[in-house]
Amino acid sequence: MAGVKQPSDKSHFILPDLGEGVHEAELIKWRVKPGERVEEHQTLAEMETDKALVEVPSPWTGTVRDLGGHKEGDIVNVGEILVNFDVKGASAAEVKSSPAAAAAPKAKAEPAAAAAAPSGGGGGGGGEREDAGTVVGSVGGSLSIPARFARRQGDANGPSVESGGKALATPAVRRIAREAGIDINRIPGTGRGGRITASDVQDFIKRGTAAKPPAPAPGFAAPGFAAPRAVPVEPVPVSPDGTSEVIPFRGVRRKIAQSLDRSVRTAVHFTVVDDADVTDLDRKRREYSRILGAKLSLLPFVMAAVCRALRRHPALNAVVDDAAEEIHRKGVINVGVAVDTEHGLMVPVIEQADRLSIVQMSGAVADLARACRDRSVPREKLIGGTFTISNVGSYGGRYASPIINYPEVAILAAGRAREQVMTRGGMFYAGLSLPLSLSCDHRVVDGAEGARFLNTLVKMLERPEEMLT
């Protein structure tokens, strides 16, 4: 094809997008070493991203020249060279048209990139589609890697731009350039049709020609609230005196810290608390457990009540798109449940939870909690939530100020139920009280609406006959 050179026998394999919204991954373990010959789809490395362990497969057969300078424990950004290969006698056509690549579907992780890329001359055979082929590997079962990450073209004479002076590049590559503070229009493109690839951006960075980073886009602010502004924080030096152990800030703990920091800096939190008399509900729970021959906790009953309450108060079943300054109210109810593991907090999501029975809900929670603890939970089960529940009561806590699982707009913390003296109709009795703490994003949910939601939830928990019919 005119304007496209054959790749050299030393090819770079660049870390591809491992999932929607993933910008980096921690290198957990190398599965290959320099000089080793690997087969197509053989696992190169185990990496951790967004709380899920994934395996990165080789896109082709060849010999590992070096490991890109990365060692176990390093954080590798999407677009960085992961492995350098010696691929003897491989042409661009051979790499692209391998049987696995020809049969592979397009990468799920880049629907936006595929939609935004300028179309070529019709169909996959046109020379204008950079992502016309994909390479399939294994990431928790399967991974579709955009072929542009697994191929480096020869040098071109200069950048190829669209009409109007705009460089040809996908959104993923533009993001890499933007985060590096580079004017992408200055980068020579070596991809198909003159497109700029992630390799081109990395080569440009190595030449030390980075431009001034663009000004950040203004943050979202609902009427009546100022847009959140990032405040630079100077690191505080820590004395090593008295330290008994140094633990690297890596893996799940690092992801948790990043997510919580983003939530606190973005969402405007407020919390309301209340107690529910779950004496009758606990009686129902015991009846269910007896009939089923298995112990049921209060959690699936709380989840069922939350689903019903969200139908009445849809403002809390929403997510915020700060980039587009939009609030997305969801028609489906996907409930995330916080799970404590030895690796850190994980929040698997039960999709369409409102369609499940109490027993199905209990089974789904148990299965996902088990998968989180043994690290087998697929990444797609950790995203897509519309509301989150944290069961702090399982460890003895009562009230809490839960932090919203951004970009959601609300989270409920259920405390530990305990027996106490209550009154009803002027009479004293020993009842079971369940403390509830609800945090909402005040940019989206008014304080009164948050209180109304919690009041609805309490009434449902106190009237189990109505909730379970």
CB-based contacts of 239: which residues, under 8 Å, 6+ apart? Answer: none
CA pair distance 343, 327, nearest whole angstrom = 32
CA pair distance 85, 10, nearest whole angstrom = 5
Over its C-alpha atoms, the chain yields an Rg (Å, rounded) of: 26
The dihedrals phi and psi of 35, each to the nearest 5 degrees, come to: 90, -10
CA pair distance 162, 164, nearest whole angstrom = 6
Residue 68, classed as helix, strand or coil, is coil
| Residues 78, 16 contacting (CB under 8 angstroms) | yes
CA pair distance 461, 130, nearest whole angstrom = 55
Q: What is the residue-wise DSSP string for 151-169? A: --PPP-SS--B-TTS-B--
Task: For residue 431, give the nearest of 287, 279, 281, 282 by alpha carbon.
Answer: 279
Integer CA distances (angstroms), 395 to 252, 300, 344, 432, in order: 21, 17, 15, 17
Q: Beta-carbon neighbour count of residue 72 at 10 Å? A: 12
Per the annotation, the verdict on 328 as an active-site residue is no
Beta bridge partners of 429: 422
The dihedrals phi and psi of 56, each to the nearest 5 degrees, come to: -100, 115
Q: Which amino acid makes up residue 190?
A: T
Residue 171 half-sphere exposure toward CB, CA atoms < 13 A: 13
| Residues 46, 127 contacting (CB under 8 angstroms) | no
CA pair distance 287, 294, nearest whole angstrom = 11
Integer CA distances (angstroms), 359 to 289, 365, 459, 462, in order: 10, 10, 22, 20
Catalytic residue selected from 23, 269, 328, 442: 442
CA pair distance 189, 169, nearest whole angstrom = 9
Angle at CA of residue 345, ends 141 and 394, nearest 5°: 120
Task: For residue 444, give the nearest of 313, 354, 302 by alpha carbon.
Answer: 313
Helix (H) or strand (E) holding 177: helix 171-179
Q: Beta-carbon neighbour count of residue 58 at 10 Å? A: 23
> Which residue is associated with the tokens 């073209």?
153
Positions marked catalytic: 442
